[in-house]
Each structure stands twice: as structure tokens, then as C-alpha cells.
Amino acid sequence: MIALPRRSFLAGTAALGLARAVRAASPMGTAAGPVQANWPSIVGAYRYPEWFRDAKLGLWSHWGPQSVPAQGDWYGRFMYMQGHPMYAHHLATYGHPSVTGMKDIQHRWTAERWDPDALMARYVRAGARYFVTLACHHDNLDCYDSRYHPWNSLTVGPKRDVVGIWEKAARRAGLKFGVSNHAAHAWHWYQPAYGYDPTGSRKGERYDAFRLRKVDGKGQWWDGLDPQELYTGGHAVLPDGLDTIEAMTAWHEANNGQWIETGPKDDPAYVARWLLRQTDLVAKYKPDLVYFDDHGLPFGPVGLEALADYYNRAIEWHGSIDVVATAKQLKPHERFGLVQDVERGFSDRLWDEPWQTDTCLGDWFYNVARLNDKSYKTAEEVIQRLADVVSKNGNLLLSVPQPGDGLIDAEEEKILDGMAAWIALNGEAIFGSRPWRIYGEGPTRLNPGMQNEQEAAPFTHRDIRFTTNKGALYALLLAPPRQESTTIVALARGRFAGKIERVSLPGGGALRHRQDDAGLHIEMPARRDGPAFVPVVRIDGRGLV
């Protein structure tokens, strides 16, 4: 394996010891306080904030330099893998990756049409109660005024504090504000950038990450920046001599994989720098929510340090831990110290504790193919998902992809407007609600877990979800009834204690109904004052909730 020179910053000591040394020396290190960096302390101190339980819907700007090519997700990795469509696009559009690399795509991210206040107003109309912005993706560009990482959006690309501008816009709009940190994976994600073409006219020619050092930037746009700080150093470098795309792909899969949760064994300083960047991010922008793109907390004990730091800062800001941190695939005891996030997936049960699923209208990073082939999620599909998640004690975090210039496309605007029309009529069934005794009924079975939403069968008119709010029970019909009536089996006579006194449309008139041993039968005229999808029924009475 080829060893590359790397800078010596904090090198040679265990990452956690390094981080603690920095904390002692720097006011931007981890915050002191009652919460200690261990699970008993964190779980004992944490309570899920009521604002999060009430909010139900967040919108996410998963936006950064990988939006510029408009090709979708993981561009900064796949552009370095000959045979991948993104490599072909990069070669045809920008040139060979030995010359034009991901650093140059970051330079092209100018955000010239970005209007954060106008977007925030649209997101509020669509129902957002919290807003999350991407702070750093696997491409290792900090989209904020980063103290510890020179490759950031004030020195590269927009030359603006993207996170800080979003934060001010969100708070002006009355929303809670969150940030997402994906940088723990940059070190292995970027290793193909140290590779080469195994075939063709430029066979064996190493890509820009392998070749470039700080000195090479003299007179270039990146003068003064060290590409090795961006590309993280060569921890798993493709060896010489591979001469097929299949061999190259197999080597990457075996040696740096798609998803690794540990830090680089040859560079503990990488993990220490991650902690510095995370605590800096939290200290600067005081987010109400931090999203970790990790299975469990990043880097084990270092992730615990980061979480304890965040909670101690929240106590300083609010007098209590009135914030949310999310991570994925949590162990049972961990779920009571932060919120579990289920990426692009479902639950098949009602959870005791709050949780969150995150998904996207299309790809995480903007993909113009989604616009051209009209493959975005529809407003109906988003609201179906929202109803299902909320009925199971969860929240939905929805990403709206932005092109590199920052202006969302016309199809996305239509989807958001459709959501807004539904929320205007039926929001009382969602916001501030709590689950009922059961989450719902119907024939469609959802497989629990992550990354499986594309496998789910369409919901039917018999799939119904329940919520409660201010003493009322709500039934959300995930698909419109096929006839002018619907039957809710769970509300059959004798199935529950309580008396139904009135059935109505939210904001509308009473509906004719009758109850028998087969269910509650409701006449459902077509609603003419708003969207027909996911009709909602309000049920009032005694002892229902």
C-alpha cells in the first residue's frame, strides 16, 4: 500500500486524549457541565423535548457542492471510479479527475440564485416546524465559518456562511434550527480520489488527491489551501497494477467500503479534528437539533464527548437539555439518550419514545433526472408518509433538493404547494398531536428498517392512521375511499371504551355516521375546498382518548 505524506497536526496520540488536551487549552473545546461522556449520565439527564414531539415535520436543505453537477448522490466519490456514470459525466463535463477534481466542483458552488428567506417562507407554508441544514457532508467541505477546517464555504465556493445565513432565516421564520454532520465518513469515502484509471488512454495516471500538495496551489484559485486537508490523506490507496474496472471496484469495496464507522487506524488525529469541528459548529450556531449520519454515535467515546458537550451547552443556553440529537441503528439503551433516526425507512409498530425518519423528494443531492422524468415523490406520498410516521410517535424530516445555484425547481414548488394546501385544512391532526392506543389499521404491511422505502407497496383506502390532539381523535385515510363512505374497523361497537358523539371534517361540517359491530361507517363526500388525498376525519366524544 502506498504511504502518502500527511500533515502532523495532533498526530501520534490517541484521538480522545488529544481532544481532551484541546478542551483544556481552548475555549472552543468541549463544554463542562453536569452531563458526562458516558451512557448512564446521558440517559439519566435526557428528556425528549416537547417542542420536538409537537413539531412532527422538519424540512432539510441537504445542499452543498455535490449539487453542482446535478447528478445525484455521492458524486465526490463516484466521479473517481472509472466505469461509473458519474465518472463519465465528470470526464465529459469538467475533464479528467487527475486535473479537475472534487476540490474544483466545490469551487463551482456559487449559490448565485439562493434566496433563503423566500425558501423558508415556502417551507413554513408547507408545514415545517423545524429546519435542518447540511453543515458538512462526506465531501469534507464545512458549509460554515469553520475555525478548525480551512476548506469551508467562506474560503471556497459561495464565500458565505451558509449555515449561519440559514440559521438566521429559520429563526426569523419562527422555526427551530438544526444542522447535520456527515464528516465522520469523509476519510474512507474519499479514498478513490487517490486512485487512477485502470484502463484506457490515461491508464495508471493518479487522480488529483494523490498528486497535489499545498505548494502546488501557488497562483491557483486554491492558493494557500492544502488538498490533503480536504481529501483527508491516503489511508487506503489503490495499489499500482490493477488493469480492469472490476478489479478496481472490488479492491475499493474490500478495503475502504461504502460505510465504515471507525476512524482511520493510521491517523487518530482525524477523529480529534472531527470533534473540534463538531464542538465549534455547535458553539457558533446553537442548534436545536444535531443530526449525526452514523450508526450509533460517531467514533464511540469521541461521539459521547460530542454529545455531552452539546447537552451541556444546551443547559447553558436554555437551563435544560431542550435540544435533540439523532443517530441511526441505536442500541436499546442508547435510544433514551438521543433520538433514533430511520433513514428512508419505516416502522411497523407504535414506538414508546419519539423517533424520526428522514427521506427526500428525490436524491439527497440534486439530480436533474428527477425533474426530467418526473420521479419526485408527490405531495400525496409525502403526506401519506407523514401520517404513518406521526401515528407511530415519529417525526418526518424531508429533504428538498436544491441545485447548485440554490433555486428549487418548478416541480418541487408544486409539491410543496400541495403539501401546504393539505396542511392548511388538516394540520390539527398532525401538529401537537400524540399517538392513539393503536397506530392504525389496514392491509398494507411495512417492513421495518432503513433504506427500504422503494420496496413498499402503495397504501390503499383501507389503510387508516390515528392521532389524538386536544381531546379529539383523528382518522387519516391514507388513500381516498373508493365509494362515498368508509368504515373504520377499530371503532366498531364494543371494541373500545368510549362514546362517539360527533364526526366531522377538520374545519368543516358534521358527517353522517353509524356504528355497529363491524365498525364506524362514515359518509365521505368529496372535499371541494382542498386536496382530495389523505382525507381526515375528526371524531369527538367521551372516553375516546
The CATH number linked to 488 is 2.60.40.1180
Residue 116, classed as helix, strand or coil, is helix
Q: Structurally, how many domains does the chain consist of? A: 2
Predicted local confidence at residue 15, as pLDDT: 47
Let me know whether 422 and 451 are in one domain.
Answer: no
Amino acid at position 353, single letter: E
Last residue of a domain, one of 398, 429, 460: 429
Output the CA–CA distances (angstroms, integers) from residue 1 to 4, 11, 25, 158, 244, in the order listed.
10, 20, 37, 37, 18
Establish if 5 belongs to a structural domain: no
Establish if 485 belongs to a structural domain: yes
Establish if 1 belongs to a structural domain: no
Last residue of a domain, one of 397, 429, 461: 429
Establish if 3 belongs to a structural domain: no
Establish if 434 belongs to a structural domain: no
Let me know whether 421 and 444 are in one domain.
Answer: no
Whether residue 227 contacts residue 212, with contact meaning beta carbons closer than 8 Å, is answered with yes
- Average pLDDT estimate for 186-192: 98
Establish if 63 belongs to a structural domain: yes
Output the CA–CA distances (angstroms, integers) from residue 355 to 57, 106, 324, 338, 383, in the order listed.
12, 33, 10, 9, 17
Q: Looking at beta carbons, which pairs linking 19-24 to residues 24 or more positions away fall under 8 Å?
A: 19/271, 19/272, 19/275, 19/276, 19/302, 19/305, 20/305, 22/272, 22/275, 22/276
User: What CATH code is carried by the domain that includes residue 282?
Assistant: 3.20.20.80
Let me know whether 147 and 236 are in one domain.
Answer: yes
Predicted local confidence at residue 24, as pLDDT: 44
Let me know whether 78 and 110 are in one domain.
Answer: yes
Let me know whether 450 and 419 are in one domain.
Answer: no
pLDDT, tens digit, 9 for 90 and up, residues 499-534: 999 999 998 889 999 999 999 999 998 878 889 999
Q: What's the residue count for the chain? A: 545
Query: Rg of the chain over CA atoms, in angstroms?
Result: 25
Q: Which of 14-18, 117-121, 336-340, 451-455 has the lowest mean pLDDT?
A: 14-18
Let me know whether 375 and 452 are in one domain.
Answer: no
The residue to which cell 394540520 is assigned:
427
Output the CA–CA distances (angstroms, integers) from residue 75 to 248, 406, 536, in the order listed.
18, 18, 41
Establish if 424 belongs to a structural domain: yes
- Average pLDDT estimate for 349-377: 98
The residue to which cell 469551487 is assigned:
107
Q: Rounded distance, CA 80 to CA 86, Å?
A: 8
Question: What does pLDDT average to over the chain?
Answer: 94
Strand duo 536-542 + 499-504: pairing? antiparallel
For 464, the enclosing helix (H) or strand (E) is strand 464-469
Residue 316: all three cell numbers together: 447553558
Let me know whether 422 and 460 are in one domain.
Answer: no
Establish if 254 belongs to a structural domain: yes
Let me know whether 224 and 144 are in one domain.
Answer: yes
The residue to which cell 389503510 is assigned:
463
Whether residue 288 contacts residue 176, with contact meaning beta carbons closer than 8 Å, is answered with yes
- Average pLDDT estimate for 453-478: 96
Let me know whether 386 and 520 are in one domain.
Answer: no
What's the domain range around 467? 440-542
Predicted local confidence at residue 17, as pLDDT: 54
pTM check: above 0.85? yes
Let me know whether 237 and 88 are in one domain.
Answer: yes
Q: Rounded distance, CA 340 to CA 332, Å?
A: 10
Let me know whether 229 and 369 are in one domain.
Answer: yes
Reference 47, options 433, 443, 343, 319; nearest CA is: 319
Let me know whether 225 and 313 are in one domain.
Answer: yes
Predicted local confidence at residue 23, as pLDDT: 47
Last residue of a domain, one of 386, 408, 429: 429
Q: pLDDT band for 21, please (50, 70, 90 cuts).
A: very low
Q: At what angle do helices 15-25 and 268-285 cross, to 10 degrees?
A: 40
As a three-state string, the secondary structure of 78-109 is HCCCCCCHHHHHHHHHCCCCCCCCHHHHHHHC
